[in-house]
Amino acid sequence: MKGIVASILLGGAAMAALPLSAQLTWGSKDIHYPKNFQVAKNIVTDTVIPAWRGERVGALALIQVPKGEKVEVKAQLKGKLKGTASFVDYVLTDDFRQCGTHPTDLPAWEAPDIIDNVAKSVTLDGETRPIWVTIEVPRNAKPGKYTETLEVNGQKITLNVEVSAMTLPKPEDQSFYLNLWQQPYSVSRYGKVKPWSKEHFELLKPYAEMLYRAGQRTISAILFFEPWGEQSNDLFEPMVETVKKKDGSWSYDYTVFDKWVEFMDKNGVNGDIECYSMIPWEMKFRYFDEASGEYKFVQTTTKTAEYRDLWGSFLKAFASHLKKKGWFDRTLIAMDERGLEDMMNAYAIIQEADPNFKVMLAGNYHPELTDKLYSYTIDLGKSFPAGELEARKAKGQVTCLYTCCSRPDPNIFSNSAPADATWLPVYCTAVGYDGYLHWSFMNWTDDPMKDSRFKLFAPGDTYFIYPEGRSSVRYERMVEGIELSEKVKALQEKLLKAGDVKGYQKLDAALNPIRIGYSTKNAVSTAKQVNYLEKVVAELSK
């Protein structure tokens, strides 16, 4: 072992030269490269990526240092376009892909998913390590070819970005409705900061920014303690403090709620405010009882007078507060996976409190509910009856698809094919839905940087973004899918307006395998479906 270790020069380019036998190559974003992957074959030193102006472009490289040549490596992207190069770190996963208790006897494996934009270098000895390159093509970039260089300890490979004259909408102007639920209490626990302290917001900032960048349309707000029992590692604390005063009347403190919404707004996530939940997993509602000076619970059902009183009072006060803040029209009284009867009971109470309250459900389809729900999200394996999506769209309502533990694939577990995260938004668009919902963007496990397995569900189902503002392959691939969806829509409109029958049909043909792909008995390769669509989109973008 030679033990070549370079000194780290902050911001500098000079690192120890790589051993001559080290291999640097472009790789595939569709592959989970194991650490012992041998890159010696098919070295690619020059690659081309088509892009639109305003696009966030990802590319994956691989560096392998021969065994016995222990060396610290550092990656840098150089060129006219703004870009970063980060090492991809591994997180433990296994092959569990369903709901329920996570088994403990499955062999674990390491998924390269963490895009470590914090680490400045890694030390390798015999292993292969992926490097993730992100480029944000400026919205005013001149169309044409840009040549970027990925440099690893002096060794170089070339990335050509072919920028089309087409421009993506800004994230806030995207038509795609992205709904990734946030879990701020994971961030405070992991960061060991007081919830809603200045430090907490500091830690939350990169996530708000990443959500904004992806085109996030919702803020997740929690009305009462823990709407979902213990299905997340961290319990959800309420953002409204509900107090029963000594005289039996209710009072509400919106301080946290207001801070949270204002914080998200400030970071560009200023769409719908989804408030969970009038119908939690466990039908109990915590409040502070002034008389006893303790927290107490109302354990009830949606049928009781007690429930009607509790929520009638809450919703009236809440409506008044929201109107004062100018947020009423953005606020959704939101429920997750609840049955029809409970939904109808809750709806009646909402209507009585304020008939203009918007209501949201992520759950099963019920014909009785579709008129009542401003926002309705169903499982990706199900569908609305023919014609209903269009009718909802005409009324300005939002209709999306979700995936959770119930679907083995395509999905965004840490063991999912990387292309699945790209496929999902495109699928939603291609079959006529407004967007995609996932219940857990950052519901971290105890040690989210090391182990994505949780006591429940498929590993990584509960989060796909990492501590300290680290991105992930899954996040980047999802952004790619949302951008691809926007491109498809923009091109469809362009080709239609131009009466370009051939071009339109070509694009449509490329969408068909995605529309039917997940359901066929063939081994589904979302990568093939997505890559073909991207190829066609690039051709039509010239």
CB of 379 to a copy of itself, least distance (A): 8
Q: Which of 386, 416, 468, 485 binds a copy of itself (CB under 8 A)?
A: 386
In the chain, what is the greatest distance between 2 CA atoms, to the nearest angstrom?
80
Q: Which of 178, 343, 517, 540 binds a copy of itself (CB under 8 A)?
A: 517
- Which of 491, 494, 488 is CA-nearest to residue 511? 488
Q: Does 175 bind a copy of itself (CB under 8 A)?
A: no
Rank residues 84 and 383 by Cβ distance to a copy of itself and give the closer one: 383
How far is Cα 432 from Cα 380, in angstroms, rounded to an integer?
Answer: 12
Tokens, residue 249: 């009347």
Q: Does 520 bind a copy of itself (CB under 8 A)?
A: yes
Rank residues 311 and 433 by Cβ distance to a copy of itself and give the closer one: 433
SS3 392: helix
- Type and span of the H or E element at 35: none
Q: How many residues in the chain? A: 542
Q: Which of residues 452-491 bind a copy of itself (CB under 8 A)?
A: none
Please choose, out of 56-64, 260-268, 293-301, 385-393, the segment that lies near a copy of itself by the rule CB under 8 A: 385-393
Q: Does 36 bind a copy of itself (CB under 8 A)?
A: no
Rank residues 135 and 490 by Cβ distance to a copy of itself and give the closer one: 490
Q: Does 7 bind a copy of itself (CB under 8 A)?
A: no
How far is Cα 351 from Cα 359, in angstroms, rounded to an integer?
Answer: 10
Q: Which of 119, 266, 381, 455 binds a copy of itself (CB under 8 A)?
A: 381
Number of residues that bind a copy of itself (CB under 8 A): 46
Q: Which of 535, 538, 541, 542 binds a copy of itself (CB under 8 A)?
A: 535
How far is Cα 507 from Cα 533, in angstroms, rounded to an integer?
Answer: 8
How far is Cα 341 from Cα 332, in angstroms, rounded to an integer?
Answer: 19
Q: What is the dihedral angle through the alpha carbons of 77, 80, 83, 86, rounded to the nearest 10 degrees?
A: 0
Determine how β-strand 177-180 pairs with β-strand 218-222. unpaired
Residue 132 has a CB neighbour count (10 Å cut-off) of 24
Burial of 525 (0-12, 13-18, 19+ CB in 10 A): middle
Q: Does 367 bind a copy of itself (CB under 8 A)?
A: no
Q: Which of residues 389-448 bind a copy of itself (CB under 8 A)?
A: 389-390, 431-432
Bridge partners (DSSP) of residue 179 are 437
Tokens, residue 533: 């669509």
CB of 86 to a copy of itself, least distance (A): 30
Q: Which of 119, 356, 496, 539 binds a copy of itself (CB under 8 A)?
A: 496
Q: Which of 213, 296, 450, 515 binds a copy of itself (CB under 8 A)?
A: 515
DSSP assignment letter at 481: H
Q: Does 376 bind a copy of itself (CB under 8 A)?
A: no
Q: Which of 158, 191, 365, 538 binds a copy of itself (CB under 8 A)?
A: 365
Q: What residue ranges bind a copy of itself (CB under 8 A)?
A: 365, 379, 381-387, 389-390, 431-432, 493, 495-501, 504-506, 508-510, 512-522, 525, 528-529, 531-533, 535-536
